[in-house]
Each structure stands twice: as C-alpha cells, then as structure tokens.
C-alpha cells in the first residue's frame, strides 16, 4: 500500500510536468507563423552560398530599428583548406541607397580550421531598412559573395 501511494504520486507529478512542458513548447514554437508577419519571415531567412568548396550560411538575427547592433550569424564550412579570413576586414553591409558600412566586431570562432561560426556585428542604421545586402569578400577563391534581404517584398 505504501509503494502504491508513491507510484501514484510520482505518476501525477510526471503528468503535471508533461502538461506544463507541452503547453510551454506549444506557445513558443507552435504558433510562430501566426506571430511573425510574413514579410519578416522572408527577410530573416538563412541564405547559403556554396562556391569553391566552402559553404557560407548567413542569417540576419537582429535587424530591428531599436537594435543596438545589426547582427548576422555566419557559418563557414569546408572540407579542404583553412577558413582563415578576417571577416571584419572582408565584409561590407550596403543599404538601399548604396551607403556602405563596415562591421564593428566579430564574435565567434577565430580564423582557423574547417568550421567557423559567429556573429558579425554592424552599427545600427538611422533610417528604416528597405533592402540590405551583405557582401563577404575573399572567402576561399571567391572574390565576392552577396546576400540580400528585401524588406519591402510582401508589404504591397
């Protein structure tokens, strides 16, 4: 009888925990498409360039008007050669008016190895963004890799 109470109590705790977990997960991920406008979903998609045996993935992760920095997550992968590029020196951000901005900081893996990941940070822009282009230069034997996000695509 004593063990039966312990088993029933344990089952009740597990059921409550599972319910709370399910409800929490469902709220944070289940309705993501409903809470983020379609234009925002499109502009924040990861873009991939895979020239010269180097795969470069770029995802804007913080481009809001109130952001302290404009942040891009960058993942570099290769099976040959070294990823020893200075991403701060070899990157530029261009707005819809052609203004160019240099990054202020790389927060991530150092320049070496076959895999690098980190955040490339830029100063915030004073105007509302309509189009943004990130150019990464001299990665492998590719002189320029371009990644563009159009904020006006689905506003019409």
Answer whether 71's CB lies under 8 Å from 61's CB.
Answer: yes
The whole-angstrom separation of Cα 114 and Cα 14 is: 43
Q: Are residues 54 and 29 in the same domain?
A: no
**127 and 100 inside one domain:** yes
Low pLDDT (below 70) residues in the chain: 1-2, 6, 8, 10-12, 14-15, 17-43, 153-156
Which of 135, 120, 132, 141 minimizes the C-alpha distance to 75? 120
pLDDT at 44: 74
Determine, yes or no, domain membership for 13: yes
**Res 4: pLDDT:** 72
Whether residues 61 and 15 share a domain: the answer is no
Contacts (Cβ under 8 Å, ≥6 apart) of 91: 102, 103, 120, 134, 135, 136, 137
pLDDT of residue 15: 65
Question: Do residue 44 and residue 26 come from a single domain?
Answer: no
**For residue 19, what pLDDT is reported?**
59
Please tell me the pTM assigned to this model: 0.70
155 lies in some domain: no
Is residue 130 in some structural domain?
A: yes
30 and 59 in a single domain? The answer is no
Q: What confidence score (pLDDT) does residue 64 get?
A: 80
Residue 136 located in a structural domain: yes
Domain holding 67, by residue range, is 38-150
74 and 113 co-located in one domain: yes
| Number of domains forming the structure of the chain | 2
80 within 8 A of 97, measured Cβ to Cβ: no
- pLDDT digits over 24-42, tens only? 554 433 333 333 333 344 4
């Amino acid at each position: 009888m004593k063990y039966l109470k312990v088993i029933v109590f344990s089952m009740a705790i597990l059921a409550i925990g599972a319910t709370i977990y399910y409800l929490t997960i469902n709220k944070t991920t289940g309705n993501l498409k409903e809470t983020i406008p379609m234009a925002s979903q499109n502009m924040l998609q990861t873009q991939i360039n895979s020239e010269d045996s180097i795969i470069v993935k770029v995802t804007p992760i913080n481009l809001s008007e109130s952001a302290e920095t404009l942040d891009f997550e960058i993942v570099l992968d290769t099976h040959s050669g070294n990823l020893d590029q200075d991403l701060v020196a070899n990157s530029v951000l261009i707005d819809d008016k052609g203004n160019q901005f240099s990054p202020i900081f790389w927060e991530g893996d150092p320049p070496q190895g076959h895999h690098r990941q980190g955040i490339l940070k830029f100063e915030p822009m004073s105007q509302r963004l309509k189009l943004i282009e990130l150019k990464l230069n001299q990665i492998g034997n590719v002189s320029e890799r371009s990644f563009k996000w159009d904020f006006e695509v689905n506003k019409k």
